[in-house]
């Protein structure tokens, strides 16, 4: 690519400059210092914030996730040592801003508005990488991008998120993948859930996952067999069909990601999470998200799920 | 059990409701949402707070441990995925409140008052699970429950706690297991100490442990052989005699349990701690405790030692 | 009163003891160490938690307010030096627990459930003192206690909370007093709003307050004339009709109450807030609340609004 | 003004929207939600970040100030209750981004680069409001905007910042106003320094201020006479000549602005600071700054100095 | 004084240097950068740490006070603007280190060891300024320095600390001034207690103060009459007899001194505390202390009580 | 050694006492409680602080590192369980205080002043163990101690620190080992860099390391082969020539060392770091450092690199 998309005019003087090369504490905080755009044209990968936590069942705060992640992602740089690529040279990456809502107190309406946004992004041929927001956002993302063909999924999380109604709402952050399967948007046989653990009041969620054919890797199995065999299993499960990566930061151990709303001890390290994501490169990816980051996150803890979706699609 | 013990009358309306099924941030904070009782009748497992830190040698604060643990344990739910059991269906679990003291500035008197409390609990046939307080509480617990027969112990800690007098007191948190051995309450040959590390000014504590026949698993050995072999060793050491589990949270690495008074780097992860505790299921357990939790603990870090004592006694 | 209501049986031994006299870090955290009751009988003052923040417009977290306030209020003791009374000797005070909800994602339904709860409390002749939750709770409290006769109000806050619909909901925390006036539950001519300040996007809220006859004391006036004259003005405005006190902790300066969702600099000190509340003693009070306390509040900052409602009703 | 400058195109859909009216946690963080511009055209007030702390003598961190202030200023809204104006309707306000540097380890070079930037801004007729950065930035700002005529100054600070060389540098944050006087950029007879206090190793700074005719209002005088008389004094000192406002947040008490590098107890409250700034309205202002905000500032504490420069210039 | 006592040899090179003139973050942390001495000779003012919190009734932590204060006091400099003196030029000031204890779990023994230390300091003609530790330390300090003649006292605190036995100990931090009066070490008629407030379970402490003739300035009176009249009252009460200043940081509002064990809202500001202390200059002072500073104090909050004892004795 | 060097005279009484045996929160904070000396005589191991962060490229703060490490190291005790030695019995260890600077704003001058200090230490035959400060300090340390013969190095870090000029300075913390190789002070063929990871804008640093023959162990390799094989590789690379250990705490995962200026997720655990350092015992060591510790570090996280340099030199 001849024209690095990241150049900006300097407000004083006639120069162009590249925010990525400036000290990390300077300039406006966009996702990974990518240019902020107000159009869907000329974008290969779109970074999108979804600032809502209306769907949580415990501590709220993920509405602040997009801004926190924009700030934290200033620490990233262009060349990814782990993957050996510079995605900014391979494709046009832009920050598309936040999904806007006209309703803020109605989960059902939010589902519609998110779905409409992603349908437009999808129609523009953009690969979406999203920053939640709580996990309830993934179901409407699927409505926007998987309407024609169900996707497979690599899902990293402490919880299966396949539960039913909670306090009279079916759209909470405990339910997106049950809804997606029921709507024919997610193929459970091409779905793997990694890092599952913690207490439950009902087993219906886990039973839904299993009875519909999802592969559930509990944390005990993860610790037993190690990350490399989990990667192999994930690649086998999703195959070469269209695949989505959904990364709930509570899949990580709270020592690594304390700023999340429903923490569970005994989770994955960031190093294993990076190895897991990088192991998925060159799959047929169609999108990804990182969710459940709340305001007081320790900032370095929220990078891992961003790595792969960006890089794997374009590297060969 | 037909009558789940956890139902409470609603103050408005005629309903019963179950606090365990309410959102986690609601209701009065009892240990693991168990009902608070003011009697020793009809209780199988008693959860007890011992709010004192008079015995510490460095930073104080564990007097706030019972309240902090009550708050944190609201995140727990009934069904334990790791063990595959719902202990609340298997037995009657209650929060017995805190041990009360008439002295607050005299370690020797505290020993007597704690011992009297646990003798009554023991006489009532209740399995005690205790929340410290500092580690000095375990010696008087033994006085209450092991008077007739010495117990074995699985002890997770950075320190052996078998030291002698410190600044003119023999009852500090560095001494409970020396006292217990000397009083014939703890069988050192059926005792294993796991996670030991850190600097020492004197070696007398470690020498006491070894010369009396305790099995000391230093952290280097733990890292070398892995948690599964440590579990096997622990089961071999304690055998099928009556066994107590004592979990000092400074056995965990400070990254997982920063809120403790004498932290030592290079410790156990919460995931390994869970695997260790769950590996002990179906031993002949007689009680357990988690100690040295201070006020500013990151809350998710204090769950692990609670798991096993509850579940293993009643599962087959 | 012969029978101090605060005695509890000790779980071990036959004694009664008084949690109020135990060290502050011990025992179960109820509101101000009052006994937890599961009935509306024999209660003069009922302390009630309303754990919801569904109505906020910025940072959430006030759902954790009741538990945070229960913990913090352990620092209180029986005799109030500022007022010269021991309310526990004057009346029967109890913690009624939390309002329970069957819906958690529908503001309109929450309004109904809160209103029903307070109607029952009111019918039982109990004086309610409530801990939010966000400020949206006060409108349904009024529905429960002011159905027969509109109340007057002393309202301490940075915002007038008389705005209209926000993102398609009319029940947010910016609207309770517009709703209450429109429903005939609040008498605007007997309402004073103290501490108002900060930026606005629209002036409709302030215009509503003024055009309906509320007395708005902006922070500039408060600083100009001092707390004593504001007290006199408040007493004049509310007169001797039934009066409610609503205390939003963001009326305090963020230096005193940082843990709130919509902080505004330039607010009231806690000392002035105490003087203000104590200046209202012997009014014809019918209830009070403290709202918008979130999880990470510095604990000492949340005491002031609790003082007066308790004491003033029963002191002569 | 017919065309509110703050409208932005939505990335999905054909609407314009106004970030100021969106919930405060959404959208890209620019200074006070003003539009980010890459040109000096069509701007009345330019908000500018200067991310450097190379000049500090104690704790560094003010390099993060511009980003922290951008985040915090999302809490602001259009209409200023205290002043009774909506500045966004009166003039065109834009975020000009950060001053860029080609040197990062040479205070003398930074002076040149900042001066060049402000000369361009000044030449474009823009009123600059700057976010430091440490206080060393104000001297080069003066070089850019006061080259033709020395300015007067209202200076709020714990320190006079009129010291000489410190560890072999004359450009530190303790020196800007000595440099400015010596360069003929600042008129000491039209300068008032408010809030001065704390310990000193040498008295040369204070002696410089006094011997050159600056009016020094020590905090003791401020407390004695009150903010209204200090406002009157400030207006008298600066008169109707061109005047700059420089607000070092350590002028505030550390209870209000803990996140600064050289805190001194016994300072000004935010309420008094607001009253002070608003008292300066309709002076002949030429610019202003807020400096010494570091990364861990409590966010609400950093608003006051922004108020006046924006509003006073355009209000009548 | 010709020989500034603060010079130290540089470890490399042959120079002397003065730690007070080095950047504040450098060098070993002694109290106010004074030289650390190991002898009682050639010292006029001795700064002494007493690292114990065995006497507290709520949160512990003041054992870390001396170290925290040593660190924080690095921010001080030689010349005190408020008083207009450089005490380091007027007298020889040294850090005497910490009182050492041979007992750590016995309040009675600590009383003896502290008393012996201060008797030696007193015999050497040194003016002691002490850093607690909890407030139980002041009684034994009096035993060391007031054995021949009872002292008067200016006492700043939220509590009168004239209570009786607490949980079977009479030496707690709630009792020092009752003990001192009863032992004839403190003259209650020359004692003023400033800032008293908060809840009480018993009134015996306040009744003791009043019935023995102490002047109790409740916070309400302080707010009513202002600091200048309180200063005048204090000077009148203590007269020209030997007088001690005891400053409990919980006399300050928790917004200014959050890191203390028994905070009470509605307290004094640091600015008023400075004005109060400076108002006491040229009294016949014999010693002073600052107590109840715990580990997590915001550092700038702990300076005020150090100012006067140092300066007032030697200035005329 | 007959005379333990750590005894100090008590200021009151005629005793000697040993700070190492006092409770950890007492006494002046020197490095690891070693005696503070003002001479280079009679010292085997010298502990040295270098309080500067002028060389950082992102967040500053490491200027506070020496003081933070002195405080934290109070938790250490004499006997090292992991190594089985008591270094204080084997050699004379002293805290030499901080390197003093006459320039504070000129990286080039700092290089000269640090180099001169270490040349003197080296000439005195002292083994230096240094606490940064940012990583720019290691190049001048090498100038002081490796002038006659280049050293080999075991380097633990997230970054290779072999970059070139950054914003017009060649002396930043990204450059020390390029400078050292170019000056003939560091033998790249005897250098191993362990834990390297994270994003890059340019690959020149890594290319410099590789093309000059350094052994770069990326974190992926570390995770793959395990710490024991990395130890073996390190011993092979450095051989028996003079070797330096440089430990940048950002080599650790941010969960273990959050208080550092350029954190990178996916790092080493403290347990592995201890095993790595202890694996290096009995190498031909000539010095070591721990760098990039900033003010808000969690204190237990900064111990590991101190262990080996002390112990390995003197154990056989």
Q: What is the tens place of the pLDDT at every residue in E87-146?
A: 888 888 899 999 999 999 999 999 999 999 999 999 999 999 999 999 999 999 999 999
Could you give the strand order of the β-sheet that contains A186-196, starting from the edge strand earlier in sequence?
Answer: A93-98, A45-49, A127-131, A285-291, A243-248, A151-156, A186-196, A215-218
pLDDT of residue E108: 96
pLDDT of residue A156: 96
DSSP state at residue D284:
-
State the average pLDDT over residues E147-173.
Answer: 96
State the average pLDDT over residues C109-125.
Answer: 97
pLDDT of residue C14: 67
Nearest CA to E51 out of E128, E129, E132, E117 is that of: E132
* Confidence bin at F10 (pLDDT 50/70/90): confident
| Chain A residues touching F264 at Cβ < 8 A | 300
Distance from CA of C274 to the nearest CA of E (A): 7
| C283/D260 Cα distance (integer angstroms) | 45
Interchain contact, C38 vs B98, CB within 8 Å = no
CA-based nearest residue in chain C for residue B74: C67
- pLDDT digit string (tens) for A205-216? 999 999 999 999
pLDDT of residue A15: 81
Burial of residue D147, with CB atoms counted within 10 A of its CB: 0-12 exposed, 13-18 middle, 19 or more buried: middle
- What are residue C166's DSSP bridge partners? C169
Least confident stretch, A40-49, D169-178, E25-34, F305-314: F305-314
- pLDDT digit string (tens) for F186-196? 999 999 999 99
Provide the mean pLDDT of chain E.
Answer: 88
Distance from CA of E12 to the nearest CA of B (A): 32
A63: contact with C, CB 8 A cutoff: yes
| A163/A139 Cα distance (integer angstroms) | 13
Q: Are B107 and B53 in contact (CB under 8 A)?
A: no
B190: contact with C, CB 8 A cutoff: no
CA-based nearest residue in chain F for residue B252: F271
Q: Compute and round to an integer the Cα radius of gyration of chain D.
A: 18
**DSSP reduced 3-state for C192:** strand
Cut 0.80: pTM above it: yes
Nearest CA to F81 out of D268, B219, C5, D209 is that of: B219
| Chain A residues touching F167 at Cβ < 8 A | 23
Please give the torsion angle defined by the CA atoms of residues C135, C141, C142 and C147, in that order, rounded to the nearest 10 degrees.
160
Ranges of residues in chain B whose predicted pLDDT is under 70: 1-5, 14, 295-316
* Confidence bin at F308 (pLDDT 50/70/90): very low
| D161/F61 Cα distance (integer angstroms) | 23
| F45/B96 Cα distance (integer angstroms) | 55
CA F180 vs. chain centroid, Å, equals 16
Q: Please name the helix (run of DSSP H) or strand (run of DSSP E) that holds residue D223, with its range, or none.
A: helix D219-225
CA C232 vs. chain centroid, Å, equals 21
Nearest CA to C286 out of C253, C313, C304 is that of: C313
DSSP per-residue letters across F24-82: TT-S---GGGPPB-SSSTT-SEEEEEE---TT-SS---GGGHHHHHHHHGGG--SEETT
**DSSP reduced 3-state for E10:** coil
What distances in angstroms separate CA B208 from CA B163, B174, B182, F16, one per listed residue? 8, 12, 11, 29
- pLDDT digit string (tens) for F132-182? 999 999 999 999 999 999 999 999 999 999 999 999 999 999 999 999 999
- pLDDT digit string (tens) for C174-212? 999 999 999 999 999 999 999 999 877 778 899 999 999
pLDDT of residue F295: 59
- What are residue B240's DSSP bridge partners? none
Interchain contact, F77 vs B200, CB within 8 Å = yes
Q: Omega into A171 within 30° of 0, i.e. cis?
A: no
Least confident stretch, A159-173, C45-59, F6-20: F6-20
CA atoms within 13 A on the CB side of F285: 31
What distances in angstroms separate CA D116 from CA A14, D122, D144, E115, F198, one per listed residue? 13, 10, 6, 66, 36
| F293/F304 Cα distance (integer angstroms) | 12
Q: Omega into B212 within 30° of 0, i.e. cis?
A: no
pLDDT of residue A288: 93
pLDDT of residue E310: 42
Token look-up 């017919």 returns: D2
Q: Are A227 and A234 in contact (CB under 8 A)?
A: no
Provide the mean pLDDT of chain A.
Answer: 88
* Confidence bin at A14 (pLDDT 50/70/90): low
Q: Per-residue pLDDT for E302 more than 70?
A: no
- % of chain A with per-residue pLDDT over 90: 63
* Confidence bin at A310 (pLDDT 50/70/90): very low
Nearest CB neighbour to C9, from listed B25, B38, B51? B38
Q: Per-residue pLDDT for F297 more than 50?
A: no
pLDDT of residue E314: 39
| D281/D283 Cα distance (integer angstroms) | 6
DSSP state at residue B80:
E
Nearest CA to E253 out of E185, E197, E179, E178 is that of: E197
pLDDT of residue A312: 40
* Confidence bin at C71 (pLDDT 50/70/90): confident
C101: contact with A, CB 8 A cutoff: yes
List Cβ neighbours of A209 (8 Å cut-off, separation of 6 or more).
A160, A162, A177, A188, A193, A216
pLDDT of residue A5: 53
Distance from CA of C42 to the nearest CA of B (A): 13
Highest-pLDDT range among A156-170, C16-30, D254-268:
A156-170
Chains A–D, number of C-beta pairs less than 8 Å apart? 90
Interchain contact, D101 vs F295, CB within 8 Å = no
DSSP per-residue letters across D84-150: TB-HHHHS-EEEEEEPP-S-SS-HHHHHHHHHHHHHHHHHTT-EEEEEESSGGGHHHHHHHH-SSSP
Nearest CB neighbour to C265, from listed D80, D81, D304? D304
Q: In this complex, which chains have at least 3 CB pairs below 8 Å with chain F? A: A, B, D, E
Q: Are D4 and D88 in contact (CB under 8 A)?
A: yes
C117: contact with B, CB 8 A cutoff: yes
CA-based nearest residue in chain C for residue B104: C23
Q: Counting every residue, how long is chain B?
A: 316
**DSSP reduced 3-state for B280:** coil
pLDDT of residue F5: 53
State the average pLDDT over residues A39-62.
Answer: 93
């Amino acid at each position: 690519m001849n024209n690095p998309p990241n150049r900006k005019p300097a407000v004083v003087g006639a120069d162009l400059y590249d925010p990525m090369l400036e000290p990390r504490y300077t300039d406006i905080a966009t996702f990974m210092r990518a240019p902020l755009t107000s159009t869907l044209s000329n974008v290969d990968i779109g970074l999108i914030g979804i600032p809502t936590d209306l769907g949580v069942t415990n501590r709220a705060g993920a509405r602040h996730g997009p801004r926190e992640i924009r700030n934290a992602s200033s620490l990233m740089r262009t060349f990814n040592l782990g993957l050996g690529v510079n995605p900014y040279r391979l494709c046009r990456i832009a920050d598309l801003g936040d999904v806007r809502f006209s309703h803020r107190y109605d989960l059902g309406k939010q589902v519609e508005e998110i779905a409409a946004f992603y349908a437009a992004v999808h129609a523009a041929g953009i690969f979406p990488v999203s920053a939640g927001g709580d996990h309830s956002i993934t179901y409407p993302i699927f409505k926007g991008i998987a309407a024609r063909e169900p996707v497979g999924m690599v899902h990293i999380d402490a919880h299966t998120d396949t539960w039913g109604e909670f306090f009279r709402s079916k759209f909470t952050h405990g339910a997106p993948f049950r809804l997606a399967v029921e709507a024919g948007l997610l193929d459970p046989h091409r779905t793997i859930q990694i890092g599952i653990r913690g207490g439950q009041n009902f087993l219906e969620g886990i039973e839904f996952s299993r009875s519909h054919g999802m592969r559930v890797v509990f944390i005990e199995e993860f610790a037993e067999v190690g990350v490399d065999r989990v990667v192999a299993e994930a690649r086998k499960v999703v195959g070469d069909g269209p695949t989505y990566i959904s990364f709930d930061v509570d899949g990580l151990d709270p020592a690594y990601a304390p700023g999340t709303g429903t923490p569970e001890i005994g989770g994955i390290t960031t190093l294993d999470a990076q190895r897991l994501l990088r192991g998925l490169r060159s799959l047929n990816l169609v999108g990804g998200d990182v969710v459940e980051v709340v305001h007081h996150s320790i900032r370095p803890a929220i990078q891992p799920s961003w790595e792969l979706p960006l890089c794997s699609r374009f590297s060969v």
